[in-house]
Amino acid sequence: MFHKEGHKIIFAALVIVVAAFLLIDELIEMRWLQLILQLTFLVLFILILQFFRNPKRHTQLNDNHALAPVDGKVVVIEEVEENEYFKDKRIQVSVFMSPLNVHVTRYPVGGRIAFNKYHPGKYLVAWHPKASEENERTTVVVDNETFGLVLYRQIAGALAKRIVNYAEEEQNIVQGEDSGFIKFGSRVDIFLPLDSQVKVDLNQRVRGGETVIAERK
């Protein structure tokens, strides 16, 4: 199953691959070179399919849990000053996505969208300390019954040139549902109340919509 954000790109890539195979057969006589070029185009097409895959996730709905918003590796767990919306201290957990990860963004908690804003910006590498404040990004705040206000931020990286965000203010959303997509690698930050109990470790691999990031009771 592939994400809807990839349908046009996958179709265009398929057309290019088929055309490339035909041209290689027509213009190149050396069989070994034909095979190398055709294999190269085929591998690139498989990588595009891999990037836009959208596997079904089995989300266990629980207002006491904040779930990973994306697949990837936990690269930040720290207490920080969140200056855009809360203007106070929060626990930040950041998940970095490589180009090989599933890039669907999912709502970490359920509730009502209280805030939603897009910020144009730079394209620093996603693990840069300033990426959360200076890169192109979207900020979404969800008002949840247990956690209160939870902020998550999609952040573009050096390769990611388009962030897709489906959240709309005052919208009621369900934990684990599709909230957007980041094309070609980046990260997502989630900001939680200080009394949240973090359930992941640095460098741990997480699955969006399934792995419990934090708990609050």
Q: Is residue 41 part of a domain?
A: yes
Task: Evaluate the CA torsion angle 174, 91, 154, 4 in order and state its sign.
Answer: negative
Q: What is the pLDDT of residues 49-100, one digit of tens each?
A: 877 888 888 999 999 999 999 999 999 999 999 999 999 999 999 999 887 8
Clarify whether residues 152 and 196 are in a common domain.
yes
How many domains does one find in the chain? 2
186 is catalytic: yes
Q: Exactly one of 94, 132, 186, 196 is catalytic; name it.
A: 186
Clarify whether residues 39 and 80 are in a common domain.
no
Whether the Cβ atoms of residue 137 and residue 116 lie closer than 8 Å to each other = no
| Domain containing residue 13 | 4-51
**CATH code, domain carrying 129:** 2.70.70
Q: Can you give the C-alpha Rg of the chain in angstroms?
A: 20
State the number of CA atoms in the 13 A half-sphere of 4 facing the CB.
7
pLDDT of residue 181: 87
Q: Would you place residue 129 in the very low, low, confident or very high pLDDT band (cuts 50, 70, 90)?
A: low
Q: Is residue 165 part of a domain?
A: yes
Whether the Cβ atoms of residue 214 and residue 62 lie closer than 8 Å to each other = no
Clarify whether residues 183 and 107 are in a common domain.
yes
Non-local CB neighbours of 3 within 8 Å, separated by 6+ positions? 52, 53, 54, 103, 104, 178, 181
Model confidence at 128: pLDDT above 60:
no
Clarify whether residues 72 and 42 are in a common domain.
no
Clarify whether residues 47 and 144 are in a common domain.
no
- CA-wise closest residue to 107 among 137, 67, 55, 139: 67
What mean pLDDT is predicted for residues 110-123?
88
Q: Is residue 58 part of a domain?
A: no
- CA-wise closest residue to 143 among 178, 193, 91: 193
Model confidence at 183: pLDDT above 80:
no
Q: Which two tokens stand for residue 188?
A: 């997502």
- CA-wise closest residue to 95 among 139, 155, 141: 155
Task: Evaluate the CA torsion angle 34, 37, 43, 44 in order and state its sign.
Answer: negative
> Directed axis angle between helix 31-51 and helix 7-27, to 10°?
180
